[in-house]
Structure 1
Amino acid sequence: MVENRRQMGITAPPPPLRRRRRWPWKSWLLFLLFAGPNVALLIVFTYKPLLQSLYYSTLQWNIGSATARQVGLGNYIDWFTDPTTAHVVMVTVVFTIATVGGGMVLGLALAVLLNRRLRGRGAARTVVVAPYVLSGVAVGLLWLFVFDPNFGICAALLRAVGLASPDWYNDPQWALLMVIVVYLWKNVGYVALVYLAALQTVPADLLEAAALDGATPFHAFRRIVLPLLGPTTFFLAVTTLLSSLQSFDIIQAMTQGGPLEGTTTMMYQIYQEGFQTGRAGYSSAVATILFVVLLLVTFVQMKYVEKRVHY
């Protein structure tokens, strides 16, 4: 057969080339070189404290004490049966809904305004974003003078129209509103900045085609711009919700959780129980509950809300 093939001019195919054996350890070494430092930082500063907090939540332990007693789920039972828990949860929910919802609406409105060709647009963008990079403690202390019932700017403006200033410091409802206003003022620039970047990626051809078809600016914004902003809205909903639930600095600077626990959120309760009353085990239990809430909220957003986002 071989001789017949040679006579017919048919040659055998060349032997297959041997591929060089790849060494997987090189890929692992490259992975560890780039991702190793980040993974190590996450383990040391995120996952290790998380596991320690979970363990501490099962102890009856005061900060500074050399001994601790195992109580299992006792701290969790105490929190759920505490009469003040419902009030703390309600304050947390109101604060979160107001800051997240208000921040998204105000941020989008500012972004639409700053996306127009206006004189001094660059300076206006800087003014809007500047509060976001300021210290929360400094912002809170400065706004205390603004809301001062006797000598503050807010009181002066209300007196100019014949109204009396609310007792921002001693009324729980007004104190919560005060903290919400300051939080929005500080963080709305972040939402506006992200929305502004997204608005500048909207194709102008689509808006021009909609205008030629007779669509009003409102309908074009509702039918074209808002759906295209879906991924950005989803991203901001996740990040602002997590940030709001973990807010601490402004509350600490302005009200210290008062008056009458009117501004005590779950995050601030963790600080109070851990560093003021010294109940580290109970504080860790509240922190664990807040972590589970954040995890569930993020999971729901990623699982169900993301399906409605138009990419």
Structure 2
Amino acid sequence: MEDIVIAILRSGTPLVYVTLAGVIAQRAGIWHLGLEGLMITGACATVLGIVLTGSIWAALLWAIAVCVAGSVLFWFVVEKLRANQIIAGLGLTGLGLGGTTLAVQSIFGTQAAVSAPFGLPRLGPAFGAYGSLSVLVVLMPVLVLAVWVMLRRTRFGLRLAASGEHPFAARSVGVNPSAMRLAALVMGGALCALAGAELATGSLQIFAQNMTAGRGFMGFAAVIFGAGHPIGATLAALFFAIVGAIGIKAQLIFGDRIPHDLLLGLPYIATVLGIWVSTKLRGGTKAANGFTELRNE
């Protein structure tokens, strides 16, 4: 049982981080399809930072800085250039996937996987079987609670929601919706960097091309599945992680009796079914009205 819980925490933690980034962006009126690109950028920047600097903390700061820069670029394209947020998000994902491959090729002269000499700090032997988990796993529930408090119990969260849902009303009381969206995307960029860092150095200490394998899109789906609520979206992300852990366990139990590709695809099947169920229950997913209102100025 412990091995299943550990597998869920390992696979679910980066998914929860990237989901929280999507929740904050959605609250500000942006459906963030660039999560995948930012997540793989964070993974690549963390591993390259460790290799080049020899410090995990410098690597994390570098990863956060790069992902925040990508988020600012996304904000500029959407807010200032008035680009469609869906297309801009997909463009950011393409930039992340292609840019990381180019970075590895330019620095190491190869497209092979890059290994780091060490990864994130672990909990240690004092925690028994859970000692192999990274510190970001322990930090995950704290961040979920912090995001919930920020969005639901603070003046900033109220202003963020107003900027996403009714930007004209927000502006009438002195709130700048564009600045609030920038703040939301910057926070999301930092969370995506942590998601990539946990994925690449939480248990593996390696970066490979396309290693996110659609986790950013799964995080986006969790935002929809959880109705944009931090707790609900987190539970949706953990549900996807549980399905993935069950698929891995099933491979060990059933072997070749069940097609290998089917078991690997279980998390993605669960993602599609989850979106379908959530949209049926809520009568369809509506686009962010505030974004449309802002673009019609």
- Taking structure 1 as the reference length, what is the TM-score of the superposition? 0.28
Q: Could you say which structure has the greater relative contact order, defined with CA pairs below 8 angstroms and 6 or more residues apart? A: 2
Q: More helix by proportion, 1 or 2?
A: 2
Larger Rg: 1 or 2?
1
- Taking structure 2 as the reference length, what is the TM-score of the superposition? 0.29
